[in-house]
Chains A and B, each alone.
Chain A
Amino acid sequence: MHREELAALAAEHQRHLDTFAHHIFVCAGLGCPGNEAIVAALRSEIAERQLQDRVLLRKAGCMGLCALGPIVLIQPGEIAYHTVSPDDAAEIVASLDREPVARLRLAPDLPFFARQHKNVLALSGRIDPEEIRDYIAAGGYAALCTALATMRPVDIVRCIQESGLRGRGGAGYPTGLKWATVAKAPGDKKYVICNGDEGDPGAFMDRSILESTPHAVLEGMIIAAYAVGASQGYIYVRAEYPLAIKRLRLAIREAERRNLLGHAICGLGFDFTLQLRLGAGAFVCGEETALIESIEGRRGIPRPRPPYPAEKGLWSSPTLINNVETYANIPRIVERGPAWFSALGTERSKGTKVFALTGKIRHAGLVEVPMGMNLREIIFDIGGGIPDGHAFKAVQTGGPSGGCIPAEFLDTPVSYESLNELGSIMGSGGMIVIDETSSMIDVVRYFMEFCMEESCGKCVPCRVGTAQVHRLLTRFLEHRATAADLAMLEDLCDLMKHASLCGLGQSAPNPVLSTLRYFRQEYLDRIVPAEPATEEQA
């Protein structure tokens, strides 16, 4: 498909969409229960009133406010209804040409929506993820066609470098630098991989992006492949994401049919094929070298780095591996230019970031904010604060690899650097809010148990260290720990952090270390002064 054909298709589909007076979008993410029934009820209601030609009903991706889902969005007018049930269908359809249904309507100026800055999620909930023409009509694939037709690979790499985009998967490595390395790496065959093995507890940014705008991820990958000279790509998604997988399969097929993937993409001399690979549920396969082992058909265990995948990755070829959200950022950066992107955010953390707000928070859900927004705004303004009158205690960022940040740092602007300084990490974007009713040691032990279960077992500090630390935390939880246990806990955390093979083991102590830093008294309060009691082990 040439640029002109793409533009024609976009215009044609937009004309089709414009023939409808009303557009109803129903949140149809994996996490929204009962949306099928709502769609069915709305459809029959529309049919009954013979409004098929005036009202277009579509299933869309996540609209973010999961705590009040399912959400139904009416356009034009930006009317959002919350906690919709099939019984509300008649009222909603009846109100289309009249006043909105007040009892279901979310305040138009609700900070949850008003304070966000949507870039990656801009089309989430506003297009049908299973309809490529929706994406194209909204401007999709224009960046790809423009890039292929008017930019050299080196121009694209420079564009990404100048944008300041950093990896959204956790470590925050400069994306442009990674692309430049792969582009320069010698080798006839190169690969591009999308890491969709999202596994942090409480994190669902990538799932939502894949379910809502699968084509944006595809487009980002194809542009990346062109930029680094790759001819083959893989999307690695965990099998626990069936809806994302279904929509990705469909998206790949549709893109192939329209010559946006495959041979001579956009009628130009660039070939790129894309395959889906499903992860079998191992958290460690989110680690890039373990993921590569898994794609190669082996046990998913990390390899020592160096060599880095950029030099020697999949089947020993130079390999670009980025996270879902990173790729989803690419089309807009290419389309609007690096300056547009780098205008957002902080000095060293550019653009926007998607966060999954969970835990003790009123508006649990998915939000996208500019880097540099402070934690208080995210948790209290957008997230609505803590429910049931309880007080905020800490926010856990970065999942099992992250740390717990106490109330005194709520005014910290969120960036890769600021979170690192607080002993936590940005991670992939999980934010778990903890209130005063929770014991930090309980929280930390949960994460250590997670790491213990998910350790691949290859290196000793992680395999045995997680088990020993988990045992120690249990002793603290049960008020059986001694001062010697506290010293041993700190020594083991230090060992794991510095001697483990991969990021899983190196960062597994972070929740412990950050709580030892900010909530040390909770540990001290549980120390018994006596000699160690009789110890019975399982």
Chain B
Amino acid sequence: MSKLRLATLWLDGCSGCHMSLLDTDERLLELAAQMDIVYSPLVDTKQFPERVDVVCIEGAVSTEEDEARLRLVRQRSGLLIAMGDCAVTGNVPAMRNPLGAEAMLRAVYRESPVLAPQIPIEDLPRLHGHALPLHRFVPVDLFIPGCPPAADTLFAALAALIAGTADGLRLDTRFGA
């Protein structure tokens, strides 16, 4: 049987969900026996592969670039998992939403005491007005809430995927867990 091709993606998040994934510790070896991590901030690949079986996405969609990457990844992936509260609800990145992008940039870059107040625009993706969860843009197959989801939760989800028992999977987690 060929190994499951797993990718992970890091959008607008703190990388805590990826840390939680690493927190599965020695169980990573167990997972590695059955899946290849073909694309991830944790590995060296630069281009998202043409086809992966599963992608776990951390973070909200906050910029034009985030959205473009998400849409591309959706096309190239079999199963898309929203990993953690930012991907599931917007969470902390979405705390700026009531303000709007303009006002937030002003507050951070112009109204705070820095030497040369300016709003950075060159080489940076443009911010969306709102930071939003993945399912506002593309269909999501599995939601794993938690900030971050516990290592056990992530392991349980991936183990179920490998075992083919992910349908109707009920994970022991919650928003803010």
Q: Do A and B come from one complex?
A: yes
- Give bound CA distance, A535 to B60, whole Å: 13
Is the contact region of chain A dominated by helix, strand, or loop, or is it mixed? Answer: loop
CB–CB B138/A535 < 8 A: no
- B41 adjacent to chain A (CB < 8 Å): no
Q: Count of B residues near A, CB < 8 Å?
A: 12
B81 to chain A, nearest CB (A): 17
CB–CB B137/A537 < 8 A: no
- Give bound CA distance, A532 to B130, whole Å: 15
Contacts of A532 in B (CB 8 A): 136-137
B68 to chain A, nearest CB (A): 11
CB–CB A536/B130 < 8 A: yes
- B128 adjacent to chain A (CB < 8 Å): yes
Which residues of A496-538 have CB atoms within 8 Å of chain B's CB atoms?
531-532, 534-537
By beta carbon, the residue of chain B nearest A536 is B129
- B67 adjacent to chain A (CB < 8 Å): yes
- B49 adjacent to chain A (CB < 8 Å): no
A534 to chain B, nearest CB (A): 6
Contacts of A537 in B (CB 8 A): 97, 129-130
By beta carbon, the residue of chain B nearest A533 is B137
CB–CB B136/A535 < 8 A: yes
- Give bound CA distance, A531 to B73, whole Å: 14
CB–CB A534/B128 < 8 A: yes
- Give bound CA distance, A45 to B67, whole Å: 77
B114-134 to A contact mask, C-beta < 8 Å, 1/0: 000000000000001110100
Q: Which of A532, A534, A535, A536 has the most CB of B within 10 A?
A: A534
Which residues of B48-73 have CB atoms within 8 Å of chain A's CB atoms?
67, 71
CB–CB B137/A531 < 8 A: yes
CB–CB A536/B138 < 8 A: no
- Give bound CA distance, A537 to B74, whole Å: 23
B119 to chain A, nearest CB (A): 19
Contacts of A536 in B (CB 8 A): 128-130
- B16 adjacent to chain A (CB < 8 Å): no
A535 to chain B, nearest CB (A): 5
By beta carbon, the residue of chain A nearest B101 is A536
CB–CB B130/A531 < 8 A: no
- B176 adjacent to chain A (CB < 8 Å): no
Which residues of B21-46 have CB atoms within 8 Å of chain A's CB atoms?
none
A372 to chain B, nearest CB (A): 51
Contacts of B71 in A (CB 8 A): 531
By beta carbon, the residue of chain A nearest B74 is A531
CB–CB B138/A531 < 8 A: yes
A472 to chain B, nearest CB (A): 14
Contacts of A531 in B (CB 8 A): 71, 74, 137-139
A35 to chain B, nearest CB (A): 50
Which residues of B128-155 have CB atoms within 8 Å of chain A's CB atoms?
128-130, 132, 136-139
CB–CB A534/B67 < 8 A: yes
- Give bound CA distance, A33 to B137, whole Å: 53
- Give bound CA distance, A532 to B132, whole Å: 13
What 6 A-B pairs are tightest by C-beta distance, nearest first? Answer: A536-B129, A535-B136, A531-B138, A537-B130, A536-B130, A534-B67
- 7 of the cross-chain contacts (CB-CB < 8 Å) are A531-B71, A532-B136, A532-B137, A535-B132, A536-B130, A537-B97, A537-B129
Residue numbers of A with Cβ under 8 A of B are 531-532, 534-537
Residue numbers of B with Cβ under 8 A of A are 67, 71, 74, 97, 128-130, 132, 136-139
